[in-house]
Structure 1
Amino acid sequence: MVSCAAIVLLIGLLGMVYQATQLPPPNLKDSSLPLLHDDGDDDFPLGSTRIRLSDGRYLAYREWGVPKDKAKHKIIIVHGFGSSKDMNFLAPQELVDELGVYFLHYDRAGYGESDPNPKRSLKSEALDIEELADQLQIGSKFYVIGVSMGSYATWSCLNYIPNRLAGLAMIAPVVNYQWPSIPKNLIRDDYRRRIIQLSLCLAKCCPRLLHWWVSQKWLPSNSVIEKNPAFFNNRDIDILKTIPGFPMLTKDKLKEQVVFDTLKGDWMVAFGKWEFDPMNLTNPFPQNKSSVHIWQGYEDKVVPSKIQRFVSGKMPWINYHEVSDGGHLIVHYSGLCEAILKALLLGEENLLYRPRPENLS
């Protein structure tokens, strides 16, 4: 049986992985966009920009790239577990200018400077994206890129708002072991599945115990797994040497009820029972006017590449790209974001990220 300590390690691992994309955001003073201003909420820090959703919650966001009114392509970036709107998407500025790309990052409910959503669900994640796009008037069609656990929101967009999508990409997307279409023999011996099952049980039945457990000082810290080859390949470990700490997952931060509740709720939606099976979705672009992509590291030790290959294989309309020596932090690899933009916006195929035939079985 998997120990409770393993659950804590996995939670710390996921948070650390997603925080790895959180290098300092682009310098807005050097951007072609004007400086952002407060939305008038006196209780909110100056410089933070938010919209008020129809249910009364506030959603914080930031913009970069070319000015919205001059953009040819508008992309919403969805961050993952433990991350925020300040995550970096490392696209070269020259390419952003050449393609005319406007980027919109936002704090998902309960993260960063956005209000929590006690009714968080798969559908609410998609509707938050849709309402954000509408209030900021970015147009009837927009692109969505989901990173890691933030990809469950992009799956939800495919199900609930496919008519709003100009294209979609998922980077090292989370896999839910409860999807009905995944064969049991593919996941039966996967230790990650057992850990997730136990963590869901604790979160649902004993949330106070779980809260106490993850905030105890005697538990292993993130440093225990920070460079552990059991979780990261060599390229990931090199990246982990260059990033800052993980403030959201410190013992003091986890003691805050709002932080714990956000992480717990996000985890439960991502890995709980879904109201739809992604492998039953239909192609939102039957006329091939746009495309859907999955980017995966072959050596990813958080999300198994063999499951991603199975998922994409069941949906031939999804373009599957594989980084042969990639781990879970591929979004941070040099050149990858450039390749993602070219594939998503221009339809260009990069042979470096084509899976080997023997990897597709």
Structure 2
Amino acid sequence: MTPSKSNTFTLVLSDGRTLAYETYGVCHPNQSTSTAFYFHGLPGSRLEAAAAASHVTRVNLRIISIDRPGFGLSTPRPGRILLDWPKDVAELADHLGLEKFHLLGVSGGGPYVFACLKEIPERIINAAVVCSAWPFDLGTAGMRWATWFLLKTASVSWLQGVVAFLLDWEMGDLARETEHPERFVDAFMKAMSAPDRPAADAEVLQDEVLRAQVIAATREAFRQSSIHSAWEAGLYDDWKFQLSDLDFKGRLEIWHGRLHVNVPVAMAEKAAARMPWATLHLVEDVAHLSLPARYLREILSSLVGVQTSSAAVCMSNVD
């Protein structure tokens, strides 16, 4: 294990690849400290979990946020599928001396939570997904057109180069530019303020601290190449397993904003119906960025079983 900078570390895996991760929260964990692995969105990176730093110590939690292959500082893994990820997570957990742990996946990180529930359920205490992506067989009615186009195009392997080109054209090239970092900020804010995106997401980005955190995490996502985002986008159409295959004995919580247009709320409802042991939280007046921005403390508290008196959410138990 080699410290790279501040709380960033790298682990050389058994196959020779490097896995990078960032730690947030409790600096010196003890037996009462819970650990959660954080799976970032798409495009995203280990820096995405910085938004949790102000909340985790209140619930005695340590978050370990991992760069997936090809993102941030982690070595690419050509040809990977969702079900390859649990092996990396298990190897990192073994290295850290963690027999069991929680999982938190946000947006594109959600499918990786379910891959772990499929492959290593015995090691997971509780899990939560926030604004998760879902398999396309749940139906995509109401999905933002640009999101649908990107994901469907990326699912065709020979078109992934086109998707990478489009991502570079929108912001990937600017993310890697060092002489004029403000150009990436401008491009990012323009994309987030598009008329087909919910105003709630643009509103939370008015917070300077949150905006800087989101921009840093997104910039890091494109550090190596946009082709890795294109490849990953192609995995979300077909997960290679079914939600109904899962039989998790811990607690799974699904958090979704009713204003979400990248992933319509109907997809989350149908997904929850396939897992009768899960709990679905539908939150009013929030969408993609605004849900974790406004309710992250409640999400983390619920994950580790700590009571909290704030947050007015609409919670539906799936029977």
Q: Deviations over 1:228-249 (max 9, x none)?
A: 24122x3211123341485787
Q: 1:155 to 1:329 in 2, by over 3 A?
A: same
Aligned to 1:15: none
Among all aligned residue pairs of Structure 1 and Structure 2, give the percentage whose two residues are the same amino acid: 22
Residues 92 and 338, structure 1, Cα contact 8 Å, conserved in 2: no
Q: Does 1:226 align with 2:192?
A: yes
- Once the 2 structures are TM-superposed, how far is the Cα of residue 215 of structure 1 from its aligned partner? 3.8
**Which residue pairs with 2:178 in the alignment?**
none
CA RMSD of aligned residues (A): 3.3
Whole-Å separation in 2 of the counterparts to 1:103 and 1:247: 18
Question: How many angstroms apart in 1 are the aligned matches of 2:195 and 2:315?
Answer: 23
Which residue of 2 is the match for residue 162 of structure 1?
121
Residue type of the alignment partner of 1:167: N
Q: Which amino acid aligns with 2:93?
A: A
Q: 1:53 to 1:217 in 2, by over 3 A?
A: closer
2:198 matches 1:237: no
Structure 2 counterpart of 1:299: 259
Verify the 8 A CA contact 2:153 2:163 in the aligned structure 1: no
User: Which residue number in structure 1 is paired with residue 25 of structure 2?
Assistant: 65
1-side partners of 2:227 and 2:312: how far apart?
Answer: 41
* Range 189-198 or range 221-230, more displaced: 189-198
1:82 matched to 2:71? no
8 Å contact 2:7–2:22 — kept in the other structure? no
**Structure 2: 5+ residue stretches without partners:** 174-186
CA–CA separation in structure 2 for the residues paired with 1:249 and 1:213? 16
Q: 1:142 aligns with which of 101, 107, 113?
A: 101
Alignment partners' CA distance in 2, 1:113 and 1:332:
24
Equivalent position amino acid for 2:89 in 1: I
Give CA deviations for 1:53-88 in whole Å, capped at 9, x if unaligned: 111101111223222334431111111112211113
In structure 2, relative to structure 1, the CA distance for the partners of 1:189 and 1:79 (3 Å cut) is closer
TM-score, reference length from structure 1? 0.71
Structure number with bigger Rg? 1
Matched, 1:205 2:158: yes
> Residue by residue, what CA displacement relative to the aligned partner does 1:294-344 show, whole Å, maximum 9, x if unpaired?
11000111110111112112322111111111111135433x122112222
Q: Distance in 1 between matches of 2:133 and 2:243?
A: 12
Residues 189 and 97 of structure 1: CA distance in aligned 2, closer, same or farther (over 3 Å): closer
The answer to whether the Cα contact below 8 Å between 1:294 and 1:318 also exists between their aligned partners in 2 is yes
Counterpart code for 2:241: F
| 2:274 match | 314
Equivalent residue number for residue 280 of structure 1 = 245
Partner in structure 2 of residue 267 of structure 1 = 233
Q: Per the alignment, do residues 281 and 197 of structure 1 end up closer, same or farther by CA in structure 2, a change over 3 Å counting?
A: same
Decide whether aligned partners of structure 1 residues 144 and 205 sit closer, same or farther in structure 2, where only a CA change above 3 A counts: same
CA contact (8 A) 1:172 1:330 kept: no
Instruction: Return the letter of the residue paired with 2:152.
Output: Q
Give the gaps of 5 or more residues in structure 1. 1-37
Contact residue 70 and residue 77 of structure 2 kept, 8 A: yes
2:133 aligns with: 174
Distance (Å, rounded) in 2 between the aligned partners of 1:206 and 1:315: 33
Q: Distance in 2 between matches of 1:156 and 1:76?
A: 13
Q: CA distance change for structure 1 residues 247 and 200 in 2, over 3 Å: closer, same or farther?
A: farther
CA distance change for structure 1 residues 198 and 104 in 2, over 3 Å: closer, same or farther?
A: closer
Change (3 A) 1:263 1:303: same
Match of 2:180 in 1: none
User: Who is 1:344 aligned against?
Assistant: 303
- The structure-2 alpha-carbon separation of the partners of 1:131 and 1:306, relative to structure 1 and needing over 3 Å to count, comes to same
Residue 278 of structure 2 aligns with an amino acid whose one-letter code is I
